[in-house]
Amino acid sequence: MAGALLLKRPNPYGFPGGTPGVDTSHPAARNLLFSGIAQNGSFFNLMTGKYGVLTGAPPAFIDPVMGPSVKYGAGGASDCHTFPFPATAFTALTAAFFITMDQTEAYTPRVCSNNGSAASWGVVCGNATINYLSAYLGGNYPSQPPITLTTGVPFFCIVSYGPTGANFVTVNLRTGQTLHYTEAVISSPLAGDGNLYVGNYSAVTARAAGGHLSALMVSSHYMSIPEMLVWAQDPWSFWYP
């Protein structure tokens, strides 16, 4: 054969397709607690081979950049997928995910949380006036980080909490623009209730993400900004090795 045709994604940050999996050699896989993707209109745990328990009716959605996704709520909806999760009060936590915010909510929307009835830990994606990336640690929020999540724009986001601070990285999946920020530690995550709530604060509290998610991971490993920026160059490699 004289040559081979190499197919290239029009957008190097776009959904790669193929078979999802768990790459245990990936630097972000250390102390991995959860790795999931949107699949068949639900959210699927790649580590256990099981779907989350559904609350509400979040619709399936195919995003032109992020691929298969699940839309979590609007106006305080309780849309949620719940998975078993350690109740441990971890000293370090990392969460990474693909999200497009569909609107600005009139509350503090959550991408995920480990306790639905008490102040513990979670990832926040805005407030009543603006969408941004932040963390919820032991009942406290860091000051509003200068990293906004523009409505209608797909992002890859990483949040990592550890002894020295909370690190944030975002990648605009349309342009590749990458931003990062570090916030001094203001509190520590508390013990959870034995569940991971994807797309919301809990299965009973209306704090839905207000956007659509296509993949999410959580680990109990702290990642530095340099480590996060390396991952940001190839975001999908964790779920599609």
Domain positions in the chain are 27-235
- Reported as a pLDDT band with limits 50, 70 and 90, residue 187 is low
Residues 6 or more apart whose CB falls under 8 angstroms from that of 44 comprise 36, 37, 38, 50, 51, 52
Least confident of 45-59, 82-96, 121-135: 121-135
Average pLDDT, integer, range 99-103: 85
Q: What pLDDT does 21 receive?
A: 93
Q: What pLDDT does 6 receive?
A: 40
Average pLDDT, integer, range 6-32: 84
Average pLDDT, integer, range 170-177: 95
Residue 12 has pLDDT above 90, yes or no: no
Name the percent of the chain lying above pLDDT 70. Answer: 77
Q: What pLDDT does 55 receive?
A: 87
- Reported as a pLDDT band with limits 50, 70 and 90, residue 118 is low
Average pLDDT, integer, range 89-115: 82
Q: What pLDDT does 221 receive?
A: 93
CB 119 within 8 A of CB 186: no
| Integer CA distances (angstroms), 211 to 18, 67, 154, 220, in order | 24, 14, 10, 25
Instruction: Tell me the one-letter amino acid at 151.
Output: T
Residue 204 has pLDDT above 70, yes or no: no
- Reported as a pLDDT band with limits 50, 70 and 90, residue 213 is very high
Q: What pLDDT does 75 receive?
A: 47
Beta pairing, strands 42-45 & 50-51: antiparallel
Residue 1 has pLDDT above 60, yes or no: no
Average pLDDT, integer, range 194-219: 83
CATH topology of domain 27-235: Jelly Rolls (2.60.120)
CB 72 within 8 A of CB 207: no
What is the model's pTM? 0.89
Q: What pLDDT does 2 receive?
A: 38
57-65: long-range contacts (C-beta < 8 A, 24 or more apart)? Answer: 58/199, 58/208, 61/212, 63/15, 63/100, 63/154, 63/212, 63/214, 65/11, 65/13, 65/14, 65/15, 65/100, 65/154, 65/173, 65/174
